[in-house]
Amino acid sequence: MNSILDIESPQLVVLNGDLIAGEATYLENSTAYFDLIVAPLVERGIPWASTYGNHDSNFNLSRAALFERENSYPLSLTQLISLPEDAGITNFYLPVYPSDSSSNTPALMLWFFDSRGGKKFQVPSSAEDVGIPEVVHDSAIAWFKETSVRIAANYDKIIPSLAFFHIPPSTTVELQSQGVDPSKEPGINDDIPVGAQEGDESFVSAILNTPGLLATFSGHDHGNDWCYKWTGEKVHASESKMGLFHCFGRHSGYGGYGDWVRGSREILMKEDSLFEEIETWIRLEDGSISGSVVLNATYGKDSYPVVER
């Protein structure tokens, strides 16, 4: 994180799930590991927003306790909205305002979802239904649909947006089974099959039905960091002619499985071309760049250098 932050100097960091391996911690200090995670951000004064992943819920670690620890930091932009407990914690949105300070209309919206998973807090593994479903909860989907419509009505315009959640959608399974083209969808592609949300038809439908949503981003699979254009047709047209994209991040931490070089997905959006293109690349710990692409109307047809494993 230190190496990448020094090179990139981002305006915002997204911690996209699996912050702590809850199955390997003790009750008395589980959330204390969060201080280590965000120390590089605090040192540089960089704000962040989080989604929580399947490893962030376990017998000795609860999402609620993790949020309480995170919320003690002024630089954290992670929000808590009123939803049923089963919906998880990290369902919220952040408006990004234009450089013209006289405008109070957001230039971009960032949506965050809790894709849940893991084990229930302080429930023994021998108990029934100890697991938490790995899918965005119906109440969070309903909130997203209602809120996105209300925001568009309030501002009387379609605002471009991005969405972040830890576990990838089921559409990634279909795409991967068809074959990820290493020159048109460059990236490592070592996690087969993809671990994806099961029974997420309602969530996928909500994503495809949201005007202005340009791209979604997930973590979860340490051995995948490619981008693809979503299968399925968006129901609502908007100013965007790009289509809808999904990108995997890059495994940044030294916990968990895998021997791939650690890194982070970078996302660059320019104020005058929000509906036209998104630049994104993987910055590796050694300072090099991997899988740099432009998500636009011709992505999937354009050719890029093949990423070395």
Q: What is the pLDDT of residues 182-206, one digit of tens each?
A: 999 999 999 987 888 889 999 999 9
| Residue 233 pLDDT > 70 | no
Q: Which domain holds residue 104?
A: 2-295
* H helical segments located in 79-219: 138-155, 171-178, 201-208
* Neighbouring residues of 6: CB distance < 8 A, sequence distance ≥ 6: none
Residue 60 covered by a domain: yes
Residue 283 lies in a domain: yes
Confidence (pTM)? 0.96
Question: Which of 57-61, 235-239, 249-253 is predicted with the least confidence, judged by mean pLDDT?
Answer: 235-239
CB 53 within 8 Å of CB 220: yes
| Helix 33-44 with 63-70: angle, nearest 10 deg | 30
What is the reported pLDDT for 27?
93
| pLDDT, mean of residues 35-42 | 97
Report the Cα–Cα distance between both ends of the chain, in Å, rounded: 20
Q: What is the rounded distance in angstroms from the CA atom of residue 63 to the CA atom of residue 52?
A: 7
β-pairing verdict for 161-164 and 108-112:
parallel
Residue listed under structure tokens 């605002």 = 159
CA distance 264 to 10: 11
Query: What's the pLDDT score for residue 285?
Result: 96
Question: What does the chain come to in residues?
Answer: 309
CATH number at residue 135: 3.60.21.10
In which band, very low, low, confident or very high, does the pLDDT at 21 lie, cut at 50, 70 and 90?
very high
Tally of domains within the chain: 1
The answer to whether residue 58 scores a pLDDT higher than 90 is yes
Question: What is the sign, positive or negative, of the torsion defined by CA atoms of 12, 16, 17, 20?
Answer: negative
CB atoms within 10 A of CB 172: 27
- CA–CA separation, 58 vs 66, rounded Å? 11
Say if 302 falls within a structural domain. no
Contact 92, 80 (CB under 8 A): yes
Mean pLDDT of 252-260: 91
> What per-residue confidence (pLDDT) applies to 257?
92
Question: What b/e sequence results for 148-169 when a residue is b if at least 16 CB atoms lie within 10 Å of its CB, and e otherwise?
Answer: beebbeeeeebbbbbbbbbbbb
Does residue 309 belong to any structural domain of this protein? no
In a domain, 301, yes or no: no
* Tokens 């047709």 -> residue: 233
Would you say residue 248 lies in a domain?
A: yes
Instruction: Please check whether residue 109 lies inside any domain of the structure.
Output: yes
Q: What whole-number percentage of the chain has pLDDT above 70?
A: 96
Mean pLDDT of the chain: 93
Domain assignment of residue 162, yes or no: yes
Neighbours of 85 (CB within 10 A): 10
